[in-house]
């Protein structure tokens, strides 16, 4: 068996307490495009890979959870600084502002329920 193909990414699940509020936030504040879902159970959003799925049954946190557990990472082609500034204007919780790393730039934001997301921009090779 080809070890590289042992696990294929299928969906990125984020469990939320208030499904409709979370879906509205991801769509209207963070800019994700909804592509489907099951009424009252989940909402699916487009990414360049497996869909991001907000799923009912989670538990909201008062503060961002930080970099613990699984943190979805989404890459932008360019403009990470401008995107984070747009999020700041939209009152998105900026957990860690844009910082340069050896291979690009990263920032961390949190949704309404404290779920942390990394935004990444690669350096040109």
pLDDT at 9: 86
Residue 2 has pLDDT above 80, yes or no: no
pTM for this structure? 0.89
Topology annotation, domain 3-122: 2,3-Dihydroxybiphenyl 1,2-Dioxygenase; domain 1 (3.10.180)
Question: Residues 22, 13: contact at Cβ < 8 Å?
Answer: no
Q: Which residue has the tokens 């401008």?
A: 82
Angle at 19 between CA 81 and CA 111, to 5 degrees: 20
Residue 67 has pLDDT above 80, yes or no: no
Q: Per residue in 74-84, pLDDT tens?
A: 999 999 999 99
Domain boundaries, the chain: 3-122
The DSSP string of 8-51 is ----EEEEESSHHHHHHHHHHTS-PPEEEEETTTEEEE--SSSP
What is the Cα–Cα distance from 108 to 63, expressed in whole angstroms? 13
b/e sequence 85-122, b meaning 16+ C-beta within 10 Å: eebeeeebebbeebeeeeeebbbbbbbbbbbbbbbebe
């Amino acid at each position: 068996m080809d070890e590289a193909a042992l696990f294929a990414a299928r969906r990125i699940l984020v469990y939320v307490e208030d499904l409709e509020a979370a879906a509205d936030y991801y769509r209207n504040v963070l800019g994700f495009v909804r592509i489907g879902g099951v009424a009252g159970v989940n909402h699916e959003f487009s990414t360049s890979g497996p869909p991001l799925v907000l799923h009912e049954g989670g538990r909201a946190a008062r503060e961002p959870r930080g970099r613990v557990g699984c943190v979805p990472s989404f890459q932008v082609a360019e403009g990470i600084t401008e995107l984070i500034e747009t999020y700041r204007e939209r009152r998105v919780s900026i957990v860690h502002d844009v910082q340069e790393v050896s291979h690009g730039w990263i920032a961390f934001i949190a949704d309404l329920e404290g779920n942390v997301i990394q935004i990444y921009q690669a350096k040109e090779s």
